[in-house]
Amino acid sequence: MNPFSLEGRRALVTGANTGIGQAIAVSLAAQGARVTCVGRRDCYETVALIEKAGGKAESLLLDLANPMAGQGVFAGEGYSILVNNAGIIRRDDSLSFTEADWDAVMDVNLKAVFFTIQAFAEAALEQDNTPAAVVNIASLLSFQGGIRVPSYTAAKHGVAGITKILANEWAAKGINVNAIAPGYIATNNTAALRADPVRNKAILDRIPAGRWGASEDIGGTAAFLCSPAARYIHGAVLNVDGGWLAR
């Protein structure tokens, strides 16, 4: 048996319409999973990429600004993989940061993560002897403070904590809960940084690998963490950052 195969598994990936989420969905499908691609906007492009490569996928509209939006999605549907990738960010000085911006980020990046996992786990535990895996997308700001992103930093620290507590509770029940902390990845969200010669150089000078990460770097890591090869990994927050935190 191929320990990296996801053949016969059903997965749900949030924020799968572009960037890291899209790469994760494509990577899971490449290993044999049937992938539900979730987004506030349709994920038809991701589904098309998967189907073109011979995989199986469907799109599901879900707005996780409502933290309870994932309730009722999993029951009886045979899901054994969940990747929580959807997230938003708000930037402002901490002295000026508003309650509305705080709540918006915390609802999507932390509260929705917990309650989506809860709904997934309730369904997964009803599938006797079926291994299940949760991968949360954390951040370098699960470890560092950042600047001008107080709610994002708090939420991503919270994602690391949720990952650990749920691993403690569910490891013996056949559910692996882990997280990935991406470094600086070349996506639409980082286009402005990469276009700024000063910021781009400062970032690259700090990364031992000497390059921006690719979304596929995160996709491959997620596929590994969902596979039987990672069955003894519980509660890890795995840095995929080109060595940034080791610097």
Instruction: Tell me the C-alpha to C-alpha distance, in Å, between residue 116 and each of 123, 134, 199, 210, 222.
Output: 11, 10, 36, 36, 18
Selecting among 79, 152, 184, 232, the annotated active-site residue is 152
15 close to 219: Cβ distance less than 8 angstroms: no
Q: Report how far residue 69's alpha carbon sits from residue 207's, in angstroms, rounded to the nearest whole number.
A: 37
Nearest residue to 179 via CA among 244, 238, 97:
238
- Amino acid at residue number 89: I
* Chain centroid offset of residue 210 CA: 24
Task: Please provide residue 180's backbone torsions phi and psi, each rounded to the nearest 5 degrees.
Answer: -115, 135
d(CA 85, CA 72): 19
Catalytic, 152? Answer yes
Provide CB contacts within 8 A for 150, sequence distance 6+. Answer: 94, 97, 102
Say whether 241 sits in a helix, a strand or coil.
coil
Kindly list the catalytic residues. Answer: 152
